[in-house]
């Protein structure tokens, strides 16, 4: 990631460079060029402002009969507010399930755009609000639907599996949506049933799943600007300084970083590993927004951020997603007050985009309940298709 920062009265404006896979004809080239996007991070409220804003948000959530659904990477106040008001802080899979199943008719999603869109696709009848509609994701940006569809069209015999970090239109082109907490299980099952895959957009998560399952996967070449920055050499040096520490890694990180992990998994899996692994010190390779829940839920344990290129000349990321950082208390209070920033998904896309998300949720529910997965993942018979 290459980030330039300009501070203004309304916060810090970041220009963010991200990988944009190069498509030649419909074939995917091995290289990426560089796209550019922006993020506007609000100024930190003072302690007094925070108290006032938090009280106002609590009252407005009650007034609107709304529930707050936060991701682990958003600022700590938005995580705490979700827990204090009957909402949830979770990984992206659980955010989707919770929003779908909750009785509230208004969902307020603190995270990035694809999370709000997934909530809307699963509950078109509900109002879905977000503090910032412009909070995006480099994986979503790096996977435009036209290019991705052309790539898929070149390989009609392959099952299309996309990460949740994609637009509604890309989901509507997919057979399956997965998140990092269920991708391994779903791809293993697809492989067992004879499927060969197209995978998009995260190349590191895809490569990890491929190594673990041996599945035949054609990869899109996107990456997460945060996790792509973790560095194996520096991580090795940090491990040497903390010989008793366990290393927790999100699989959006590069392969040589994943190879150093004691536990690899989604944000929820990282939290779970911190609770259950036999260690008191952990080095954590994921967005540092995660540190809040890790420290809150593991008093007495020490959490150290895994190294990025933060000290080098090319990167000033410090392992924090600038789009997650756009979620602020003032914006949250404002959308609850005004009902602005409603997430919309073209109604014509919703039924098709919902299919692969429903498949994922049905699969994970069956897996959790120990039910048979057979009816959920069809056998693929070459030349006959799914049976
Ligand atoms: P999970 O929370 O599902 O692990 O995903 C991380 C992520 O990509 C959020 O931006
Ligand atoms: Fe996307 Fe990475 Fe930010 Fe998550 S942390 S929203 S994957 S850019």
Examine the pLDDT at 20 and tell me if it is beyond 50.
yes
Q: Which of 138, 230, 290 best tests ligand 2's pocket when mutated (most atoms within 8 Å of CB)?
A: 138
pLDDT band at 24; cut points 50, 70, 90: confident
Residue 284, pLDDT score:
98
**So what's the pLDDT on residue 31?**
82
> From ligand 2's centre to the CA of 201, what distance in Å?
12
Confidence of residue 10 (pLDDT cuts 50, 70, 90): confident
Is pLDDT at 88 greater than 60 in this prediction?
A: yes
pLDDT value for 316: 44
Q: Please state the φ and ψ torsions of residue 47, each to the nearest 5 degrees.
A: -60, -40
| Cα–Cα distance for residue pair 209/290, rounded to 1 Å | 23
- 178 CA distance to ligand 1 middle (Å): 11
State the DSSP code for 342: B
- Nearest atom within ligand 2 for CA of residue 139: 1
- Per residue in 189-220, pLDDT tens? 999 999 999 999 999 999 999 999 999 999 99
8 Å CB contact between 344 and 120: yes
167: left (phi over 0), alpha (psi -120 to 50) or beta: beta
Average pLDDT over residues 111-137: 98
- The per-residue pLDDT for 387 is 47
Q: What is the mean pLDDT of the segment spanning 327-348?
A: 98
Ligand nearest to the CA of 250: 1
Higher pLDDT, 383 or 322: 322
Cα 347–chain centre separation:
24
Which tens digit of pLDDT belongs to each residue from 298-310? 999 999 999 997 5
Choose between 10 and 49: higher pLDDT. Answer: 49
Nearest residue by C-alpha to atom 8 in ligand 1? 165
- Report whether residue 287 contacts ligand 2, using a CB cutoff of 6 Å: yes
Going by C-alpha positions, the residue among 326, 361, 368 that lies closest to residue 14 is 326
Q: For a pocket test of ligand 2, which of 112, 117, 326 has the largest count of ligand atoms closer than 8 A to its C-beta?
A: 112
Within this chain, domains 2-40+138-225+347-386 and 42-137+325-338 share the same CATH topology: yes
Expressed in angstroms and rounded, the spacing between residue 115 Cα and the centre of ligand 1 is: 10
Nearest residue CA, atom 8 of ligand 2? 137
Strands annotated E in 296-376: 302-305
Sequence-distant (6+) residues with CB within 8 A of 42 are 10, 11, 326, 328, 330, 331
pTM of the predicted protein model: 0.95
CATH match of 42-137+325-338 with 3.90.700.10:
no
CATH 2.40.30.10 fits 2-40+138-225+347-386, yes or no: no
Mutate to test the pocket of ligand 2, among 323, 325, 326 (most ligand atoms within 8 A of CB): 323
**Residue 374: per-residue pLDDT:** 78
pLDDT digits (tens, 9 = 90+) for 260-291: 999 999 999 999 999 999 999 999 999 999 99
Q: Please state, in angstroms and as integers, the Cα–Cα distance from residue 266 to each residue in 26, 54, 248, 286, following that order.
A: 31, 29, 10, 9
Four-way CATH pick for 227-320: 3.40.50.10800, 3.30.70.1380, 3.30.70.270, 3.40.50.150: 3.40.50.10800
pLDDT band at 313 (very low <50, low <70, confident <90, very high): very low
Would you kindly state where each structural domain of the chain is located, as residue ranges?
A: 2-40+138-225+347-386, 42-137+325-338, 227-320
CA distance to 201, 355, 381, 382, per residue, from 195 (Å): 18, 18, 9, 9
* Residue 146 contacts residue 170 (beta carbons within 8 Å): no
- What is the pLDDT averaged over residues 340-367? 98
User: Is the model more confident about 158 or about 314?
Assistant: 158
Give the confidence band of 315 by pLDDT, cuts at 50, 70, 90.
very low
What's the mean pLDDT in 26-33? 82
Question: What is the average per-residue pLDDT within 236-248?
Answer: 97
Residue 224 beta carbon below 6 angstroms from any ligand 2 atom? yes
Q: What is the pLDDT of residue 30?
A: 80
Of 193, 232, 190, residue with least CA distance to 209: 190
Q: Looking at the predicted structure, is the pLDDT value of residue 17 above 80?
A: yes
Residues with CB under 6 A from ligand 1: 71, 73, 91-93, 165, 179-181, 266-267
Q: Give percent of the chain with pLDDT exceeding 90.
A: 87
- Residues 178-184: what's their mean pLDDT? 98
């Amino acid at each position: 990631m290459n980030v330039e920062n300009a501070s203004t009265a309304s916060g810090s404006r970041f220009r963010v460079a991200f990988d944009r896979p190069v498509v030649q004809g419909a074939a995917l080239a091995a290289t990426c060029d560089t796209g550019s996007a922006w993020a506007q991070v609000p100024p930190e409220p003072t302690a007094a402002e925070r108290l006032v804003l938090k009280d106002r948000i609590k009252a407005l959530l009650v007034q609107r009969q709304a529930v707050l659904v936060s991701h682990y990477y958003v600022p700590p106040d938005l995580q705490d507010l979700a827990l204090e008001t009957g909402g949830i802080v979770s990984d992206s899979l659980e955010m989707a399930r919770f929003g779908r199943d909750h009785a509230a008719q208004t969902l307020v999603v603190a995270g990035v755009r694809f999370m709000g869109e997934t909530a809307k696709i699963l509950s078109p009848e509900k109002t879905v609000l977000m503090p910032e509609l412009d909070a995006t994701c480099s994986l979503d940006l790096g996977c435009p639907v036209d290019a991705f569809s052309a790539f898929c069209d070149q390989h009609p015999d392959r099952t299309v599996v996309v990460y949740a970090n994609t637009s509604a239109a890309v989901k509507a082109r997919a057979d399956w949506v997965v998140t990092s907490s269920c991708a391994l299980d779903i791809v293993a099952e697809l492989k067992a049933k004879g499927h060969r895959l197209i995978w998009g957009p995260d190349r590191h998560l895809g490569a990890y799943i491929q190594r673990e399952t041996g599945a035949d996967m054609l990869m899109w070449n996107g990456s997460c600007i945060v996790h792509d920055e973790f560095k194996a050499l520096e991580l090795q040096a940090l491990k040497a300084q903390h010989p008793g520490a366990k290393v927790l890694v999100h699989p959006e990180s590069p392969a040589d970083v994943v190879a150093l992990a004691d536990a690899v998994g989604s944000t929820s899996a990282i939290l779970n590993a911190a609770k259950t692994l036999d260690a008191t010190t952990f080095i954590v390779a994921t967005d540092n927004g995660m540190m809040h829940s890790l420290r809150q839920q593991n008093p007495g344990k020490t959490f150290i951020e895994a190294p990025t290129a933060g000290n080098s000349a090319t990167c000033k990321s410090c392992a924090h997603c600038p789009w997650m950082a756009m979620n602020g208390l003032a914006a949250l209070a404002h959308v609850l007050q005004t009902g602005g920033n409603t997430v919309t998904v073209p109604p014509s896309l919703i039924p098709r985009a919902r299919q692969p998300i429903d498949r994922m949720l049905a699969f994970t529910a069956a897996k959790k309940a120990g039910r048979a997965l057979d009816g959920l993942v069809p056998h693929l018979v070459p030349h006959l298709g799914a049976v």
